[in-house]
Amino acid sequence: EMASAGDQAFDYGFLLGITEELQTSQALNEYLSCRSYVAGFCPSAADAEVFALLGRPPLLHHVHALRWYRHIAALQLGPETPPELWCGFASHWKRLLPPWSPPTGSEPPKLKLYNSLTRNKEVFVPQNGKRVLWYCCGPTVYDASHMGHARSYISFDILRRILMNYFRYDVFYCMNITDIDDKIIRRARQNYLLEQYRQKKPTASQILKDVLTSREPFQAKLAETTDPDKKQMLEKLDSAVSAALGPLQGAVESGTSDEVVTDQSEPVLLEEAKDLLSDWLDSQFGSQVTENSIFSLLPKYWEGEYHKDMEALNVLPPDVLTRVSEYVPEIVDFVKKIVDNGYGYESNGSVYFDTAKFDSSHNHSYAKLVPEAVGDQKALEEGEGDLSISADRLSEKRSQNDFALWKASKPGEPSWESPWGKGRPGWHIECSAMAGSILGESMDIHGGGFDLRFPHHDNELAQSEAYFENDHWVRYFLHTGHLTIAGCKMSKSLKNFITIKDALAKNTARQLRLAFLMHSWKDTLDYSNNTMESAIQYEKFLNEFFLNVKDILRTPTDITGQFEKWEAAEIDLNKSFYGKRSAVHEALCDNIDTRTALEEMRALVSHSNSYMASRKSARLMPNRTLLQTIAVYLTDMLKTFGAIEGTEAIGFPVGGNGESADLESTVMPYLRVLSDFREGVRKIAREQKVTDILKLCDSVRDETLPDLGVRLEDHEGLPTVMKLVDRETLLKEKEEKRKVLEEEKRRKKEDAARKKQEQEMAKLAKMKIPPSEMFRSELDKYSAFDDKGFPTHDSEGKEISKGQIKKLRKLYEVQEKLYNDYLQMSQNGS
């Protein structure tokens, strides 16, 4: 046996006393038959001595001795081996291991992400192995979530799922809820004051007076507005108020009682004018709203609605959710350290960030994301908030580019204690303090909408790097693209938006997600009927493939029958499968290009469908294992994208709430019995030509089973295909089929009516021809006519035969009757 060099592996003394070579070989073989001789990696002294004793390889039937000899020879033979040993050895055994060349291989694609900090696709390298720290800007909760929110949160959910479930990163996802903000404060005050106004039950004349009063500053604002989109929105609102004012003004002027006016006109006017009244009431009484709870009820309600919307969209919840209202002490400490580091200053109870000081400091740079936007006062003012851009506030700053870290609270605003007096957090500081508290001095990914780049994210970067005194608070900044509605800009302030609930009333969460997957996450997405129809058709295309594969897999077979021989078609499809899978991987590595990935998946399904169709036309079963592998892969990818929930191995769930797998396994055996029985009945009915039974079988297929979520597909000469489909989908298909049939029926009816009309018109045109003229136009047949227009000679000048004259006479008489009928009709005026 082989052991470490210098060790005696076995007692070989008995071999030295054997002089016969054959006996030595035989004795060694018997000895080695019950011992291991490949345990080590280098020969011992015993191995070398016995090897020299033998001189040449043992005979072939001494298996154990020969195997041992080959191992020793392979380890010992080298350039210094005596030639005579080579010759003796080679004559019996020429099977030394040949040289091995490792494959060249290819460099696998690396994941690249479009980084807004460089405006390029950069190789993604997390700071700590596979651990990814990710912060995402959450919603400001003062109204219903809309499709603009969905654009960001579905897109980031897709990216997050792919990083976790495809690239296998350990993602720690943190998101904030902005529940302290100028918009929230203003909306909460307005809602409170308007509700107080309603509860006072003002008279009709008082409502009329207040609306007219509130309309004056509104119309002044309308006159000053230059933005065309905003002006159009304000004009539309003004027109609605004007239309609602008319009936109330007329009623008041005519002396109609307040009770009647209130019932008829007041609700309409209050609804149309609520924005005007709210603004006016806030300007008059907003400073008197001091109860902090008024400012917390509104965001709490809308945060709850937001979470419901995200759950309905199948968006994963964050690992950590932070609310501004819960982090005020941390925000105060964060601001204090920025001031201590020399990058902030106090002014009239507010604290501002000194952009010039920061930008001139070593290793710091202001506006990393959009440097060209520095000085954009409109963007800066929007970032500060409507309640923070008064002249006195703007005059507090050293530079117009500086922004608020802490705002001194005015009357009618919530407030918290701080070293600078009572106040509230600025908008940008909240994300820095909360993200810093959870993720530390540097994160791998920060995400948000494209319109947040400046000033929000640039200010976040500046104040965070001022706090941590570093230049890498964020390594990769990801920004989702805009969302338009049928080509128009979506804006809540312009009242041009669609809520998530409205969108889900029209399409399913999966269809919305597929629409997002079919577009680049960083580019503009147009939410329109065409966009959603493309997503619906893609879903239907995939679903039909899954249903067909599942039907094939249900076909009975024994355990060996499921493994069929591969022919050229299977080899070609498998090659396409691996090619498309590789293309999908490359697309996902390329900035998570789901659009290209879905197109590659579509191409794979098309190839698979062509393969199944060719096998079907040849009356052959497709390869079950290959189709199953493809279907499972596609299902897994859709699960990775968040487009499929549940544990089904193949396809979209049926029934919902995780019931799909159990439903299918439970129901299908019974459906198979029904399908086989129906097929047997149809066969007998066709043979005996019993059409009523055939109609009944068709009714079961077309009317009864779709209501139960079952589709049967009959194919001539092949077993009936059974598919479990969502009942709503089948009923929709049924309705579309009915409409198609009705349209076909209507078209056929119109065609028949048109054909009949054409025949009648042709008949009428023929009736108008006098019999004396009917043959005169046929000069290619006749050359002479009598005084009544009857032909006498053919085109060659020969007299027409008596037999021919007889036939022509009959035609003449028929036309004579038609012409007389026409004259009679004309006289009767019909």
pLDDT of residue 291: 87
**Which tokens in the block code for residue 342?**
């020399």
pLDDT band at 259 (very low <50, low <70, confident <90, very high): low
Residue 658 has pLDDT above 60, yes or no: no
Three-state secondary structure call for residue 455 = helix
97: tokens are 């291991």
CB 566 within 8 A of CB 506: no
Look up the pTM and report it: 0.76
pLDDT at 205: 85
pLDDT score of 260 more than 80: no
> How many H helices and E strands in the chain?
29, 18
User: pLDDT tens digits, residue range 267-301?
Assistant: 888 889 999 999 999 999 999 998 888 999 999 99
pLDDT at 92: 44
What is the SS3 string spanning 376-412? CHHHHHHHHCHHHCCHHHHHCCCCCCCEEEEEECCCC
Residues of the chain above pLDDT 70, percent: 91
The rounded mean pLDDT for the chain is: 88
From 360-374, 633-647, 753-767, the region with the lowest mean pLDDT: 753-767
What are the φ and ψ backbone dihedral angles of 679, each rounded to 5 degrees? Answer: -65, -40
Average pLDDT over residues 499-526: 97
| Residues 770-799, mean pLDDT to the nearest whole number | 90
* 8 A C-beta contact, residue 6 and residue 44: yes
Strand 131-136 relative to strand 170-177, pairing: parallel
Segment 205-255, tens digit of pLDDT: 888 899 999 999 999 999 999 888 888 889 999 999 999 888 878 777 776
| Cα distances (angstroms) measured from residue 142 to each of 133, 180, 190, 191 | 28, 10, 12, 11
DSSP 565-629: PP-HHHHHHHHHHHHHHHHHHHHHHBT--HHHHHHHHHHHHHHHHHHHHHHHHTT----HHHHHH
In this structure, the dihedral spanned by the alpha carbons of residues 647, 648, 651 and 657, taken in order and rounded to 10 degrees, is -60
Nearest 5 degrees, angle CA 754-CA 756-CA 761?
Answer: 90
| 210: its two tokens | 């207040």
> According to the model, what pLDDT value does residue 494 have?
67
Q: Helix axis angle, 21-32 relative to 63-76, nearest 10°?
A: 90
The predicted structure's pLDDT at residue 273? 92
Q: How deeply is 116 buried, as exposed, middle or buried, from its count of CB atoms within 10 A (0-12, 13-18, 19+)?
A: buried
CB 142 within 8 A of CB 298: yes
Under 8 Å CB-to-CB from 328, ≥6 apart: which residues?
180, 416, 425
Average pLDDT in the 634-663 region? Answer: 82
Phi, psi of 347, deg, nearest 5: -150, 115
- Say which range, 231-240, 366-375, 418-427, 533-542, has the weakest mean pLDDT: 231-240
Task: Quick: pLDDT tens for 199-210.
Answer: 998 888 888 899
- Of 766, 793, 769, nearest in space to 781 by CA: 793
Check pLDDT > 60 for residue 90. no
Higher pLDDT, 204 or 39: 204
Q: For residue 41, what pLDDT is reported? A: 47
Using 50, 70 and 90 to split pLDDT, how confident is the model at 261?
low
Q: Examine the pLDDT at 3 and tell me if it is beyond 60.
A: no
**23 phi, psi to nearest 5 deg:** -65, -35
Mean pLDDT of 589-599: 98
pLDDT exceeds 60 at position 104: yes
Q: Considering only 16-30, 459-473, 504-518, 740-754, which range has the smallest mean pLDDT? A: 16-30
What share of the chain in percent tops pLDDT 90? 58
Mean pLDDT of 500-517: 97
Compute the distance between CA of residue 7 and CA of residue 45 in angstroms, rounded to an integer.
Answer: 6
Mean pLDDT within 336-346: 98
> Mind listing the pLDDT tens digit for each residue in 677-721?
888 898 898 889 988 998 998 888 888 888 888 888 888 878 888
Query: How does residue 88 score in pLDDT terms, banded at 50, 70 and 90?
Result: very low
The 3-state DSSP class for residue 213 equals: helix
Selection from 349, 453, 364 nearest residue 119 by Cα: 453
Any idea what DSSP says for residue 166? I
Q: Which long-range contacts (CB under 8 A, 24 or more apart) does 781-787 make?
A: none
